[in-house]
Amino acid sequence: MEQKLFVMSETWPLVAPFRISRGVKTEAQVVVAMLDCLGVRGRGEAVPYARYDETVETVLEAVERLRDDLAGGLSREDLLDSLPAGAARNALDCAMWDQQARWKGTTVARLLEVPENQKVVTAVTLGIDSAERMAEKAARLRHCPLLKVKLDREDIIARVSAIRKAAPKARLILDPNESWDMDVLREVDAPLAALGVDLLEQPLPAEQDDGLAEFQGQVPVCADESCHTRQDLAGLKDKYQVINIKLDKSGGLTEALALKKQARKMGFGIMVGCMVGTSLAMAPALMLAHDADFVDLDGPLWMARDRTPGLSIQDGIIGPLPTGLWGSGAGGAV
């Protein structure tokens, strides 16, 4: 039975510019892989990321190189050795999981023995803006249980103070996207703890985070850009308390599941995150989310339009996974 591959790039406009410390996005450029065997199709969406030297073109090329291997029956286990961790492997791995569930007439959740029809709290993200404008958005989202705040090196305490005043009950994750150094971190740690910040995500550049080993901060620190696969965990143990698992970093759900299991054994807290993509990219990550300490899968909220069917995100609650989107035995529109 020959496995047929279809791979394409898509551009999805954002509802508003999304600003982080390293730039501004106005659209999501994604790669979708589709596998078809005797009419049973599985899909996976990945987001090429320039921070990891990926482009749409390089990801498309990497997927295309496996066309013959896929036709010959390449398995998920073989895929781990055929492509490095990254967006290309993620698209194919998630397509394989989706196809397997459809082939068996079941769901990926049942295959993995994780809860079905789950709803979980997801962070809702505030892009970088002035303290006043970030506070205005936080006020509109104050009923959401968890907010994620993008930051750079400017006006850190002023911005977080304004957000905390506007949303006094929300839990807060701060994400400087590698834009700080140890001097900044030492200066803001105690004030951020006093403001009730729950988590600080990747404050330092991944290649310059050795100072965290001696740092005894009050706010737990999460590894994002520093953590891709299981091979990274040993080097993170004395620096970070939490790791952020993203399928585009791990190279798919298969490695992400193994990463989560090993990280738990080593005592790390778990965050499940995402790139800015559609519901098709978020759906597989929900397989990791049911018992995660933090979930950040609000990518679809940034879309001017989304997949049909798409994930529901209401008041900071995401789910359940709709039939036909991904990972179920039933079909559905794209």
How many residues would you count in the chain?
Answer: 334
Spatial CB neighbours of 34, under 8 Å, sequence gap ≥ 6: 5, 6, 7, 41, 42, 43, 95
Strand arrangement, sheet containing 120-121: 120-121, 317-318, 313-314
Active-site residue (options: 137, 150, 249, 260): 150
Assess whether the previous peptide bond of 13 is cis (omega < 30° from 0).
Answer: no
- What CA–CA distances, in Å, run from 159 to 24, 82, 235, 332? 19, 45, 32, 43
Helix ranges restricted to H, 41-114? 56-64, 67-71, 76-82, 87-104, 108-112
Three-state DSSP class for 77? helix
Question: CA-CA distances (angstroms) from residue 24 to 21, 150, 194, 258?
Answer: 8, 12, 30, 33
Q: CA-CA distances (angstroms) from residue 266 to 101, 206, 240, 263?
A: 31, 20, 12, 5
Is 150 assigned a catalytic role?
yes
What is the rounded distance in angstroms from the CA atom of residue 16 to the CA atom of residue 156? 23
Catalytic residue flag (residue 119) = no
Note the maximum CA span of the chain.
61
Residues 6+ apart with CB under 8 A from 178: 21, 22, 202, 203, 204, 205, 206, 225
Span between the terminal Cα atoms of the chain, in Å: 25
Residues in contact with 133: Cβ distance below 8 Å, sequence separation at least 6, in sequence order: none
Looking at the annotation, which residues are catalytic? 150, 246
